[in-house]
Amino acid sequence: MKISSSEVEYVAHLARLEISDQEKEVFTSQLNDILLYIDKLNNLATQDVIPLSHAIAVTNAFRDDTISDSIGTEKSLTNAPDARGEFFRVPKVIE
Amino acid sequence: MELNRLTIHELHDKIKSGEVAARQITESVLARINAVEKRVHAYIRPLPAEALAAADRADADIKQGNIKPLTGIPVALKDIVCTKGIATTCGSHILDNFIPPYDATVVEKLRNAGAVFVGKTNMDEFAMGSSTETSYFGVTRNPWDLERIPGGSSGGSSAAVAADECIASVGSDTGGSIRQPASLCGVVGLKPTYGRVSRFGLIAFASSLDQIGPFTKDVEDCAIMMNVLAGYDPRESTSVKMDVPDYRQFVGGDITGWKIGIPREYFIEGIDPEVSTAIKNVVDVIEKNGGRCVDISLPHTEYCLAVYYIIAPAEASSNLARYDGVKYGFRAADARDLLDMYKKTRMQGFGAEVKRRIMIGTYALSAGYYDAYYKKASQVRALIKTDFAEAFQKCDVILTPTTPTPAFKIGEKTDNPLQMYLSDIFTISANLAGIPGISVPCGFTKAGLPVGVQFLAGHFEEGKLIRIASVYERNAQLEKRRPCL
């Protein structure tokens, strides 16, 4: 087994996903299949290869520090499931 | 005359000559949507009222002699590009009520070019899928056979063009999501070079792979759409500052003396024999028209899928962390506290495939596994890019099947994620290497399902793709067919 059901539970926690026992079972089996398939990469020796994160050479894209229009508070809050005044409203964070 | 069946360039000529009004064209498309949409379900949200208003504005422009490349042309948008004031769901419950406060750059560009938006098209949830079956809003059916999938993830955009429910459409391609559905629906689909088209306003899946591109009825229309979509955007940090050619100059022309690379690793066991035959016929047409096929090797081809299924989920797990029930979209009720609210919102808001990929990505990036998975995959990605750089020393373009099989049946692969992933086996490499690719129809199977051929070229060589695709299209003498709906 590449990944156990308790590891699946831990990864789900890291990913902020609640999963049912049934999902846990299915994911454990499917993730195992996928990770076993991915294992084929270990057939390749890559210790001297520089990892590639972007296929096109990209550099930092700076712009002049000038003020331009932004969306603004009111519009930023229009899609919020819960908002009050100038704030997003969320369940209690601190006990 | 059924205007909805025509191409952009045909309609443009009719608008210019005053033969038809923009309103007639849009009405024709809307009538078609009304007639077939119940069966095809290409759209999450058709926009009839907005489209008619835009068509009337186009007619006012036309009266003033102000005719732009897409004036009065009905275009559909994959529901992954943000449209100001119009709900954008990405095929997900978690974005159910999301109304973007801004337009994606491509939406602005299309609108400025005169396009009439007729609707937002269906897609796999967050573009994760190859069949448009993972959409929260139901499956899209292939217009050529309603029992089959249209491909994915941009299956709504490809089906809408194939069913003449729009004239052209826009999709996005992270591992084949434009080319694979284009192939399975018998239309033209192009994934541009990474950085060629702005991703500003494209809801992110895997940011180092995502690219926006067009679906069209022929190659000339593809060039027209690329003229509008391509170009540098200061709002997008990976957009490339480079002049955009007039892609129409590449339509037609000549490929005499071109070398066409045939990668031996792409002609493997498991390709449907009817797909093989169709591709052999493409090779004949290309050779008759002056191209010379050469045997090439892309030695790391067999690793592409494994690399993709680390990199794409890893980037997705990070990109999708923003859906937390706070700023926009769906929020689960009855949470005990903030953490519980996050977890319940994401459990109820995401579908199974999205959760699966978030899980793979989170695992691959988690402490202790980063080197074994993400770093390893990024190293092999470098080897894959080098494969293509070396291949393009020996040839001008590469020719492959777009997909190993024609469209499969709805439900056939939903229980087996790996089997589903294998349907993108020929398209993923272009995203990893950042190169452009086009899928062009190249015939039908005996059962009447479309088959597509893929051409790949070096970075920013979309012009070469348009040239060879149009030479093929003009000389193939394929039978003209339309789906019976």
pLDDT at B416: 84
Residue B144 near residue B447 (C-beta atoms within 8 A) = no
Facing residue for B363 by CB, picked from A3, A16, A46: A3
Ordered by start, the domain boundaries in chain A are 5-42
What residue of A is the nearest CA neighbor of B100?
A79
Instruction: Note if B153 is an active site residue.
Output: yes
| Cβ neighbours of B385 in A, within 8 Å | 52, 55
3-state secondary structure of B137: coil
The alpha-helical segments, DSSP class H, found in chain A are 5-14, 21-38, 73-77
pLDDT by residue (tens digit) across B443-460?
999 999 999 999 999 999
Q: Which of B154, B207, B209 is nearest to B319 (CA)?
A: B207
Handedness of CA A54, A57, A63, A68 (dihedral sign): negative
Q: How far apart are CA B286 and CA B340, in angstroms?
A: 60
For residue B74, the model assigns a pLDDT of 98
With b for 16 or more beta-carbon neighbours within 10 A and e for fewer, the B163-200 pattern comes to bbbbbbbbbbbbbbbbbbbbbbbbbbbbbbbbbbbbbb
Q: Residue B367: its pLDDT value, please?
A: 85
Q: What is the mean pLDDT of each run of 10 residues along chain B (485 residues)?
A: 95 98 98 98 98 98 97 98 98 95 97 98 97 97 98 98 98 98 98 98 97 98 98 94 96 95 90 96 97 97 96 98 96 94 97 96 93 96 98 98 96 86 92 98 97 98 98 93 94
d(CA B96, CA B392): 44
If 0-12 CB within 10 Å is exposed, 13-18 middle and 19+ buried, where does residue B442 land?
buried
* Residue from the list B237, B303, B335 with its beta carbon closest to the beta carbon of A40: B303
Residues of chain B with C-beta less than 8 angstroms from the C-beta of A28 = none
The Cα–Cα gap between B88 and B138 comes to 16
**Residue B126 backbone dihedrals phi, psi, to 5 degrees:** 55, 25
Say which residue the tokens 């050529």 belong to: B144
Quick one: how many helices (H) and strands (E) in chain B?
15, 11
What's the rounded Cα separation, in Å, for the pair B44 and B59?
A: 27
Q: What is the pLDDT of residue B417?
A: 81
Phi, psi of B389 (to 5 degrees): -60, -40
Query: Which residue from B317, B359, B459 is facing A27, i.e. has the nearest CB?
Result: B359
pLDDT of residue B96: 86
Cβ neighbours of B341 in A, within 8 Å? 90-91
Pairing outcome for strands B188-191 and B437-444 = antiparallel
Tell me the mean pLDDT per 10 residues along chain A, length 95: 93 96 94 93 95 86 88 93 95 82
Which residue out of B157, B177, B198, B317 is catalytically annotated?
Answer: B177
Q: What is the pTM of this model?
A: 0.97
Phi-psi sector, B238: left (phi>0), alpha (psi -120 to 50), beta? alpha
Q: Which residues 6+ apart lie within 8 Å of B20 measured at CB?
A: B3, B11, B14
Q: Is B191 a catalytic residue?
A: no
Rounded CA-CA distance B41/B139 in Å is 7
Contact B417, B134 (CB under 8 A): no
Position B99 scores a pLDDT of 97
User: Are the CB atoms for B11 and B25 separated by under 8 Å?
Assistant: yes
Q: What is the pLDDT of residue B97?
A: 87
On whether the CB atoms of residues B188 and B171 are closer than 8 A, the answer is no
Amino acid B14 reads: K
Q: Long-range pairs for B146-149 at CB < 8 Å and ≥24 separation?
A: B146/B39, B146/B40, B147/B409, B147/B410, B148/B184, B148/B407, B148/B408, B148/B409, B148/B410, B148/B449, B149/B184, B149/B407, B149/B408, B149/B409, B149/B410, B149/B412
- Rounded to whole angstroms, the Cα distance separating B369 from B376 reads 10
- Where are chain B's structural domains? 3-252
- How far is the alpha carbon of B110 from chain A, nearest alpha carbon, in Å? 22
- Distance, in Å, from the CA atom of B442 to the CA atom of B281, rounded to the nearest integer, reads 8
pLDDT (0 to 100) of residue A49: 96
Question: What's the CA gap between B74 and B118, in Å, rounded?
Answer: 6
**Amino acid identity of B172?**
S
Which residue shows structure tokens 């186009």?
B58
H/E stretch holding B421: helix B417-421
Q: How close A75 gets to chain B, by Cα (Å)?
A: 7
**Shortest Cα distance, chain A CAs vs residue B347, angstroms:** 5
What residues in B contact A38, CB-CB < 8 Å? 306, 309-310, 373
| Nearest CB neighbour to A79, from listed B99, B307, B309 | B99
Q: Give the number of other Cβ atoms within 10 Å of residue B235's Cβ.
A: 14
- Cα dihedral B285→B288→B289→B292 (10° resolution): 100
A60 to chain B, closest Cα gap in Å: 7
Q: What is the pLDDT of residue A62?
A: 86
A41: chain B residues, CB-CB within 8 Å:
303, 306-307, 376-377, 380
Question: CA-CA distance, A68 to A39, in Å (whole number)?
Answer: 49
Q: B468 with B258: CB under 8 angstroms?
A: yes
pLDDT digits (tens, 9 = 90+) for B87-138: 999 999 999 889 999 999 999 999 999 999 999 999 999 999 999 999 999 9
Query: Under CATH, domain B3-252 is a member of which superfamily?
Result: Amidase signature (AS) domain (3.90.1300.10)
* Residues near B204 by beta carbon (within 8 Å), at least 6 away in sequence: B210, B315, B319
Write out the CATH class of domain A5-42.
mainly alpha
* Interchain CB distance below 8 Å, B359 and A11: yes
Instruction: Report pLDDT for A52.
Output: 94
Cα separation, A31 vs B39, in Å, equals 35
Q: What's the confidence (pLDDT) of residue B326?
A: 96
